[in-house]
């Protein structure tokens, strides 16, 4: 392929992993794939039924904001969900601060293009390691990334930015709870970022896609932090969420952008011109998924069982400590993470995501070296079996603290 802007961008982590694994011979065991990001739990059947019910509408476009930013009824439902979930008291925060999107990734990419304002200058501040979409969307929008490692304290090292750098920031991306480490941003850090945003005028883009998966309570998000810090209009604040993780709807990407009203207006223009239409069956199904919390509780019970089992299953062989949020284990492995992933795949058929493929080198160091990400997306028996294989590889004398199938 000729050298171009487009192929100078990072190849997605999953593609790079498959390339690495293609060098070892195919294991003669069943593959257990922990390297994925998307859940494998089933979507709620009432959501699927609603989608089916509206199939006959596909002949006719719903014009304007109904097609591109969501029907008023869907925006209303998302607004109510966001307001209730985040206990927003602001009276100026309404359904006009919300638009629907075709999933969280589309929303993040769109938001970054919009916030760059076509100027192709300034910084995008990113957690490191993180979902590579932030960096790639930033580069396509002409923004230069500043990486804040999360490996020292689980939290991005925002304090390292100089005043000169802060002055040139266009977008700062928060991911709470974070992929891969599951950590939520502390309230003091939220407050620091809101203060910086007010002082320097940059936007905070908060990716909260994992906040419906929790062992306990959902973590705070940007909307409530802005609301409780004298910013009821959500100025310079943009939140992304979706149904992929909340409702196991990875095959029907559906999400939203919420926050700053001027931003939402621009997002409407961008999405309409990009032809990012949302089919009616998708909108109707999404509405039901945001309205119902029972399926989210059920979903969390399934994850909770697996996260409770993992530390006992792994015992001292791998440090699979429980985390409060998300569906990933983020654990340190002996030696190099890529070597670990390749060996694990070849010997046991278990696929894990090496940290280095999620982290970016800065100063010649990849902060995520030695870590692997394990998505507990399979049923409990398969998750337990996969973890056991990894533990036995690390420690031939491994014994679990639990005997059950989970």
**Looking at beta carbons only, is 225 or 376 nearer to its own copies?**
376
C-alpha dihedral sign at 132, 137, 142, 144: negative
**Looking at beta carbons only, is 107 or 383 nearer to its own copies?**
107
HEC states along the chain? CCCCCHHHCCCCHHHHHHHHHCCCCCCCCCCEECCCCCCCCCCCHHHHHHHHHCHHHHHCCCCCHHHHCCCHHHHHHHHHHHHHHCCCCCCCCCHHHEEEECCHHHHHHHHHHHHHCCCCCCEEEEEECCCCHHHHHHHHCCCEEEEEECCCCCCCCHHHCCHHHHHCEEEEEEECCCCCCCCCCCHHHHHHHHHHHHHHCCEEEEECCCCCCECCCCCCCHHHHHHCCCCCCCCCEEEEEEHHHHCCCCCCCCEEEEECHHHHHHHHHHHHHCCCCCCHHHHHHHHHHHHCCHHHHHHHHHHHHHHHHHHHHHCCCCCCCCCCECCEEEEECCCCHHHHHHHHHHHHCEECEEHHHCCCCECCECCCCCEEEEECCCCHHHHHHHHHHHHHHHCCCCCCCCCCCC
**Looking at beta carbons only, is 47 or 225 nearer to its own copies?**
47
Q: How far apart are the first and last CA of the chain?
A: 48
CB of 254 to its own copies, least distance (A): 9
CB of 94 to its own copies, least distance (A): 16
CB of 224 to its own copies, least distance (A): 26
**Looking at beta carbons only, is 22 or 152 nearer to its own copies?**
22
**Looking at beta carbons only, is 128 or 155 nearer to its own copies?**
128
Strand pairing report for 255-259 and 353-354: unpaired
**Looking at beta carbons only, is 58 or 84 nearer to its own copies?**
58
CB of 140 to its own copies, least distance (A): 7
CB of 78 to its own copies, least distance (A): 18
**Looking at beta carbons only, is 228 or 248 nearer to its own copies?**
248
**Looking at beta carbons only, is 11 or 339 nearer to its own copies?**
11
CB of 209 to its own copies, least distance (A): 12
CB of 64 to its own copies, least distance (A): 7
CB of 274 to its own copies, least distance (A): 5
Query: d(Cα 261, Cα 214) in Å, to the nearest integer?
Result: 29
**Looking at beta carbons only, is 106 or 179 nearer to its own copies?**
106
CB of 278 to its own copies, least distance (A): 10
């Amino acid at each position: 392929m000729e050298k171009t802007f487009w192929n100078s961008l990072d190849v997605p982590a999953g593609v790079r992993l498959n390339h690495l694994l293609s060098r070892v011979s195919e294991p003669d065991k069943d593959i257990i794939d922990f390297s994925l990001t998307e859940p494998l739990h089933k979507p709620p059947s009432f959501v699927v039924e609603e989608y089916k019910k509206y199939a006959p509408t596909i002949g006719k476009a719903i014009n304007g904001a109904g097609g591109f930013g969501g029907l008023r009824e869907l925006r209303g439902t998302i607004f109510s969900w966001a307001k209730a979930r985040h206990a927003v008291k602001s009276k100026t925060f309404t359904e006009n601060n919300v638009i629907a999107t075709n999933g969280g990734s589309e929303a993040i990419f769109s938001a970054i293009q919009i916030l760059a304002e076509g100027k192709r200058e300034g910084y995008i501040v990113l957690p490191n390691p993180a979902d590579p979409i932030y960096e790639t969307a930033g580069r396509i929008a002409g923004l230069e990334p500043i990486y804040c490692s999360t490996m020292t304290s689980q939290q991005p090292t925002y304090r390292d930015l100089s005043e000169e750098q802060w002055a040139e920031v266009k977008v700062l991306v928060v991911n709470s709870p974070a992929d891969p480490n599951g950590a939520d941003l502390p309230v003091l850090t939220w407050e620091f970022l809101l203060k910086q945003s007010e002082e320097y005028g940059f936007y905070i883009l908060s990716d909260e896609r994992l906040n419906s998966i929790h062992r306990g309570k959902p973590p705070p998000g940007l909307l409530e932090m802005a609301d409780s810090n004298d910013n009821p209009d959500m100025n310079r604040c943009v939140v992304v969420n979706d149904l992929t993780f909340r409702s196991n709807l990875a095959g029907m990407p559906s999400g939203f952008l919420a926050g700053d009203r001027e931003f939402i207006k621009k997002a409407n223009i961008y999405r309409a011109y990009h032809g990012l239409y949302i089919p009616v069956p998708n909108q109707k199904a999404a509405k039901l998924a945001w309205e119902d919390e029972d399926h989210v509780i059920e979903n969390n019970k399934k994850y909770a069982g697996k996260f409770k089992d993992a530390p006992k299953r792994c015992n001292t062989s791998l440090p699979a400590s429980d985390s409060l949020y998300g569906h990933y284990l983020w654990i340190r492995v002996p030696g190099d993470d890529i070597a670990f992933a390749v060996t694990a795949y070849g010997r046991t058929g278990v696929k894990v995501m090496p940290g280095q493929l999620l982290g970016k080198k800065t100063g010649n160091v990849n902060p995520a070296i030695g870590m692997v990400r394990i998505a507990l997306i399979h049923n409990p028996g398969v998750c337990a079996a996969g973890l056991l294989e990894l533990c036995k590889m690390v420690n031939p004398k491994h014994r679990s603290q639990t005997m059950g199938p989970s």
